[in-house]
Amino acid sequence: MNILFEDCLWDFCSRIQIFLPELPKDMFTNKMAYEFYQRQTNTIRRVECIKQILRRASQLQKHIVDIYHEHLLSQKNSSEKIYKLIYEISKDILCGKRFDGLIDSIQSQTRNSFTNFVSTIFKFIVNDYGLETLTKLSTHYESYGSLLNLIDYQSFAVNDDQDIFSSTTTQGIFQLVTHYSCIPQTPLYHLLHQRIKSHADQIKLTFILRQSNHTGYYFAL
């Protein structure tokens, strides 16, 4: 997965469309982030920008790879499917049906599934100029857990009813957007705001129901 990760960055950068307003350069403290979000930046340079940002955001790559493994294993009968995949590939190699080695064959089989997963995560990270503030996070592994747990992985995880590595194509265009007229100082702030609002709405609903039940109790008396 670590070997495929750089391929994911190329795939993601080649499929993004930027609809973000062009902010002045002095609003950015990260030169690489500013260049990444410019519409005239080509794919080669955009990949280099995001790679340099990730070098400073240590542990993020490891965390994304770990999340992918966890979500593969969370799928229905995932262990059996993985064992079956490795067994079938090994058998084909021994029978002469495959000419690549085991590692290369597994990489080829999992490439699209992993690429789609990683690219979708980066779509959330990059929205709202998230690359500008990404490196302000602590470099500790656990800090990225709090950040990435805001994402609903079930919305783009592998379908339970299909083979765990059945994705034969990558997804389409990723449209980058901004929900604010400024650069939020917290990466994935929009998802954080949605999560907080959801909890607040649930608390209000619980309080209203409790008050209604309490009032109804007095009326019953």
What are 32-52's pLDDT values in tens digits?
999 999 999 999 999 999 999
Task: Using the predicted structure, report yes or no on whether residue 134 has a pLDDT greater than 80.
Answer: yes
Q: Which residue has the higher pLDDT, 97 or 164?
A: 97
CA contacts within 13 A on the Cβ side of 136: 13
How many residues are given for the chain?
Answer: 221
In this predicted structure, what is the pLDDT of residue 127?
Answer: 92
Q: Report which DSSP code applies to 155.
A: G
pLDDT band for position 161 (cuts 50, 70, 90): very low
Q: Are 92 and 98 in contact (CB under 8 A)?
A: yes
Q: State residue 195's pLDDT score.
A: 86
**pLDDT at residue 205 greater than cutoff 90:** no
Q: Which pair of tokens denotes residue 59?
A: 């542990």
The overall pTM is greater than 0.85: no
Share of the chain above pLDDT 70, in %: 86
pLDDT, residue 138, reads 64
Q: With 90 as the cut, is the pLDDT of residue 87 above it?
A: no
Is 13 a residue whose pLDDT tops 80? yes
Task: Output the average pLDDT for the chain.
Answer: 82
Q: Which of 14-23, 45-54, 159-168, 202-211 shows the lowest per-residue confidence on average (mean pLDDT)?
A: 159-168
Would you state the pLDDT for residue 48? 96
CB 1 within 8 A of CB 111: no
**Which of 23-32, 42-51, 165-174 is predicted with the least confidence, judged by mean pLDDT?**
165-174
pLDDT at position 79: 74
Amino acid letter, residue 177: V
**Residue 157 pLDDT > 80, yes or no?**
no
Q: 170 pLDDT band (50/70/90 cuts)?
A: low
**Chain centroid to CA 27:** 26
DSSP state of 25: G
Q: 69 burial class (0-12, 13-18, 19+ CB within 10 angstroms)?
A: exposed
